[in-house]
Copies of this chain bind each other. A is one copy, B any other.
Amino acid sequence: MSVNTFGRIFRFTTWGESHGPALGAVVDGCPPGLAISEADLQPYLDARRPGQSKYTTQRNEPDHVKILSGTFEGRTTGTPISLMIENTDQRSKDYSEVALAYRPGHADYAYDAKYGFRDYRGGGRSSARETAARVAAGGVARLVIPEVEILAYVSEIGGDAIDPAKFDEREIARNPFFCPDAEAAKRWEKIVDGARLSGSSVGAVVECVAAGVPAGWGAPLYGKLDADLAAAMMGINAVKGVEIGDGFAAARLTGEQNADPMRPGARGPDFTANHAGGIAGGISTGQPVVVRVAFKPTSSILTPQPTVTKDGEATEMFTKGRHDPCVGIRGAPVVEAMMALVLADHKLLHRGQCG
């Protein structure tokens, strides 16, 4: 299987590096006849776009997405949809040191160990800039699953979590942190700005809920809905943990506490709890699908760290380029996109096998 491709029936392949002329995604297997235009995709890219506040990297990219194929007279044709985003604000001069030594926490050394050399400009292929291509592809995926509503938000930054009692969906768009708790957003301003000013960085947790997923999506045993979501999320830059439903907390509950009892409902059973996060046996249950994703603190910091050069000599490095003090913030639109991409694929896969 192609290692830069994700999905089974609804699939996408991404390409491009941080400082190349462009990056893009080819979306294959999309159902025909769906109304689509660049304007349908651009809002998702705008949400992920950097340079919109002082809390994210100052690299300023318009991230305009172009559709190069796969549509005709405003509708998808069922053929591959090629999406391209041009890179416009590369500053390759920032990266000369990176060519010679390995930044701790970055993929520099691992890429060299694997491939023998690397495009070191802005992280090359390992740059989080690639997630723009996923977000564009995710915009197409959403058209495939109009029955599903996906919402991701940051639930924790630097160890400071939102108060579930203060959850207000409308807040998410009102602050630069995708935060549903207005008070937490206020606190986070200080946390993130503090990290930014001191040249440090902080981690974050993103939570994503997909409502409207019907029961029956998922393909046991090695295409389970939760396993595919885990792969989708763990593959996002800087992610180190994934939970479905109660996740690790479930390991501390008893069977009684963790049960999701059912009672008769209008369409199928009504569940009186959702510890399972909407998935049982790898198949959706009709409850909201709930995923939680841990982002490590940005590895690029101003404090020098011991490291080695390409030639194996000891040295120290700190990062001079433009970077996010909390890469998890802009992770929220990426998590949403990956959720959409997994669900679109499973909708089609289920339809294929089960009619």
Q: Please, how many angstroms separate the alpha-carbon atoms of A118 and B231 in the complex?
A: 27
Contact of A113 among B17, B109, B215, B257 (CB under 8 A): B215
A102 close to B352 (CB less than 8 A): no
Q: Please, how many angstroms separate the alpha-carbon atoms of A252 and B34 in the complex?
A: 42
B109 close to A285 (CB less than 8 A): yes
Residues on B with C-beta less than 8 A from A232 are 227
A263 close to B303 (CB less than 8 A): no
A124 close to B79 (CB less than 8 A): yes
A3 close to B256 (CB less than 8 A): no
**Number of this chain's copies in the complex:** 4
Interface size class of A (residues with CB under 8 A): 35 or more
Contact of A307 among B130, B269, B308 (CB under 8 A): B269
Is A63 on the interface with B (CB-CB < 8 A)? no
Interface residues of A in 84-130 (CB under 8 A from B): 102, 104-107, 109-111, 113-119, 124-126, 130
A28 close to B9 (CB less than 8 A): no
Contact of A68 among B22, B117, B307 (CB under 8 A): B22
Output the least CB separation between A70 and chain B (Å). Answer: 7
Is A53 on the interface with B (CB-CB < 8 A)? no
Q: Please, how many angstroms separate the alpha-carbon atoms of A28 and B13 in the complex?
A: 9
Choose the segment among A44-52, A54-62, A165-173, A198-206 that binds chain B (4+ C-beta atoms closer than 8 Å): A198-206
Given contacts A77-B118, A261-B305, list 9 more A-B pairs with CB under 8 A.
A2-B11, A14-B221, A14-B222, A78-B114, A102-B262, A104-B259, A106-B281, A113-B285, A158-B254
